[in-house]
Amino acid sequence: MTRLWMVRHGPTHAKSMVGWSDIPADLSDLAAIGRLRQFLPDAPVVSSDLIRAAATADVLNPDVRLPHNKDLREINFGDWELRNFNEVEAEDPVTIRAYWETPGHVAPPNGESWNTVRLRVDRAVDRYLADGHHDLIVVAHFGVILTQVQRALGIGAYETFGHRIDNLSVTVLQNTGAGWVVDHINHSP
């Protein structure tokens, strides 16, 4: 059995779609970080290679820090990167609405579809599951965590988008070998 402790990175305060842009996290809320440290087990930590996730992982003071993993990056928003919904909707209302309302194969221009993100993250998580960790802390992004919520609950992408994943929250998922068990979604310690 492996328990994944999926932590969303600290806030960026960006008011746009932030995918692969390397924007730092605001890690000034020391009380929240302290509560997070107390809640998490003593376990290896892996993160996305983007600075907001890597820096968040580093403040957890892990004894075992695994190498950053590019496959744990946020959704690649392509041409929509760092733009807000209204800006993109003014140019391409059909595609952006389809992307969020019927997620799956629809992709932003030069970006990734939900199914592509899910496949990328599933493969990365499966490699960690094969390593046999009992507990693994994964510091990543909204979309990355939601891919695994979708997987664990066996629900569609649209239903998955109904879940909140706040900054510095923890989602705990167990892989029992026979299936997934969901312990917490969006828990704020």
Q: Cα separation of 180 and 83, whole Å?
A: 35
pLDDT at 152: 97
> What average pLDDT does range 13-23 have in this prediction?
93
For domain 2-187, the CATH superfamily is Phosphoglycerate mutase-like (3.40.50.1240)
How many residues would you count in the chain? 189
Q: What is the pLDDT of residues 35-64, one digit of tens each?
A: 999 999 999 999 999 999 999 999 998 889
pTM of the complete model beyond 0.85: yes
pLDDT at 113: 97
Q: How confident is the model at residue 164 (pLDDT cuts 50, 70, 90)?
A: very high
Strand order in the sheet with 180-187: 45-47, 135-140, 2-8, 170-175, 180-187
Query: Residue 15 CA to chain centroid, in angstroms?
Result: 18
Q: Cα separation of 75 and 77, whole Å?
A: 6
Angle made by CA atoms 40, 46, 52, in degrees to the nearest 5: 90
pLDDT at 177: 82
Are residues 60 and 28 in contact, defined by beta-carbon separation less than 8 angstroms? no
pLDDT at 133: 84
Q: What is the pLDDT of residues 64-123, one digit of tens each?
A: 999 999 999 999 999 999 999 999 999 999 999 999 999 899 999 999 999 999 999 999
Q: What is the pLDDT of residues 115-150, one digit of tens each?
A: 999 999 999 999 999 988 899 999 999 999 999 999
Are residues 24 and 55 in contact, defined by beta-carbon separation less than 8 angstroms? yes
Cα 180 to Cα 28, 45, 146, 172: the distances in Å are: 34, 20, 14, 11
